[in-house]
Structure 1
Amino acid sequence: MENKNSENLWRGNIVNRRKFLGRSAIASLGLALNPFSMVAHGETGAANNGEGKTFTGTAPNRRKLGNLEVSAQGLGGLPVVGFYTSGVRDQSLVNKLYREAYDNGVTFFDTAEVYGPLTNEKQVGEAVAPFRKDVVLATKFGFDVDPDTGERRGIDSRPKTIRRSVEGSLKRLKTDYIDLSYQHRVDPNVPIEDVAGTIQDLMNEGKVRNWGLSEPGLNTVRRAHAVQPLSAVQNEYSPWSRDPETDILPLCEELGIGFVPWCPLGYGFFADAINENSRFSEGDFRAILPRITPENIPQNLEMLYYIEEWGLRKNASPSQITLAWLQAQKPWIVPIPGTSNSVHLRENIRANDISFSSEELKEFNSGISDITIAGTRNAQGVMDAMGVEAPSEG
């Protein structure tokens, strides 16, 4: 349980993420020697969901998304394209970051055609080229993106647009196959059966090996899976965005589909990178997020403080507690925190060593459920494209 001396040292003096890293560097050295431990999450052997679908155990540093085996944590690509601040990162820095991730056991890398647009796939493709055959590349289609200018012209999953997108992704990623291809958002004008059929053809051609959906409607998942089994669903999921627990996670468990939380650290909020004094520059997407406006941050910091208290108990940073909590929910959940900073990368990876007993998990969930969050969970334009059901055939 809690180390009282450690608690007394920290209580009343909650430090931010970077100060924490400095103080805990020595304590973390032992964790760094074994950055992936399934035992730390209580996930060993096989788990039956009660519906006849069994999820088999994997090596300690691996998890399953459907039949696709990946590292227990992935790496999201948005930060290196300058989604938040500082612009597109120099390719040499991206190469170094991805090499460090790979050397520390990360083999699951996430990007998308619209990240940039068209920029991030090029960054990731070059960065992973030296070890391409040893990693899983995930990217996304589903928007009409001009291949020359990068102009994004709206949601579009017509078969010809999917094919153009996949062909472009293959070139930018410098590969001849995509391990996991997601429909980025459900197209309200194209039956999901047409989408699944097109992906099935691309699989038969060897260009795509697995596929998934991002932020789909529940019935769309069932219909898509019936045509071509899905390996993963990627939805927003974090301590303040727990909607997946009531609907999509039970469905994924029933069908044997893996789950990939995007934005697991709440756009940096649960990495202790945002506080009541934070102001965002023009072009930073976070400037329009309802939960981190000046009027809502003070209330929402209560959840961060709660997570920091758990950090005291487990000698961990808020980001580590958050990622470990997500991984503790199910053995087939694989978060993909993004970063452009190697220190934060190593910090995130060490979350794999933090355990939650069943009683601790129950206590943690109860605690965050008692905290009221101010503001809707995302910008309205993003929300409008979530949970969409594809139209029926014919």
Structure 2
Amino acid sequence: MSTKLKRTLVSYRFDDVIGCEEVITGWFWRTEVTRVWLIEQGCSNLLLKKCRVVSGDQRKRFQYDLTEKIAKETKRPKRVLVMINPNGGNRTARKDFRNIVEPVFRLSGMTMDIIFSGYPGHLIDVTKSYDFTNTDGVVVLGGDGTYHEVLKVLMRKRQEEQNVDINDPNAALSPLNIPFGLIPTGSRSHWAENHTGSQDVLTAALNIIQVVSSWMLLFESLAQYHYNAKVTFHTSVMERRNTETNETEIFVADRKLTGYTSYTSDTVVFNRKLWDMLFLNGHGIYNGKALVDPSRMFVPKPSMFSCFVLFDTISPGSVRQFYKHFFETTYMDELSNVMDVLHAQGVTMELSECLDDVNQDVTTAKRPVMIDGEIYEVESPTFQIWYKLDVVRVFSSYL
């Protein structure tokens, strides 16, 4: 009896090929082979590094032709600036770079300018003075704080070069001309997780090699204190007549709003005490119902962001219920009496006082706002947040 083994053919895109290396195998009979390193999809959005071995008389020709094809058929960066914060999070950035990131970058044919942060603000100084003329990308190893440091300088530098007033909300920001990548080694890496689907170091590095770049969708912001505030949302407002009550109701993205003070056709004003406000990328309203669903929110180029406004009347039980819905991706309809949800293009905040502090001297100074996981102290009681599209390009095959 004989058994025939069926050979399975597996095809890969050129973007999925990291690179090739020659190695010698065997203890007694030494044989030269070519290892082809590939990117394969794992579970939970992880990307895996896999090896296929090529041997035989045509091995070197195959390796040469494949390397040439990758160079011509892919758009992966040839030269990147790598900035590393070795002291962030659990202090693994240096080891993660040497053991994981650097080997796959070199295998892919990238050349790197490598800079380790030596003091607070070091990467800011580097970004201000660095010549990006021949750089195809910026890669940061760190957390949300390191990402903000570098990106903020890059954005200001770009706008100054193009004579754009970055403080004018109506100004068309000039897009960054190089893609940006974050490899998560800090204490908080929400940004990396949003754009690669995980907080895995290898996955983030392989996203940069695959180089399916996407425009970054700003932003996530969270104010964590009770405030007396006037909040103006810049959005499209629709009026509808309720035939049963004969009253006029207002809607944003098919969701009826309550708790507002006034409105126009393109603004809604809330003038009351707020417990929390959460701004998220993309759309959080579906058929008039509030839902946080990252798989649907991160659509290509959403025109607005979603704002979840939690009023000071919310109970601890409702807070727990809100976050339960948030993490379980379920509708939040029963919370409509303590929160509102809007789609908006911009927000104007006028903070009068923080109600969590008795000491008024401290109150006027403490206005913390979290943006993309990083906490900022707001210098003025009045500030604006605007949603801008096509400004920062990121290395991501996940979005």
TM range (shorter): under 0.3
Higher-strand-fraction structure: 2
| Structure number, greater radius of gyration | 2
Higher relative contact order, structure no. (Cα contacts within 8 Å, ≥ 6 residues apart): 1
Scaled by the length of structure 2, what TM-score is found? 0.26
Higher-helix-fraction structure: 1
Scaled by the length of structure 1, what TM-score is found? 0.26
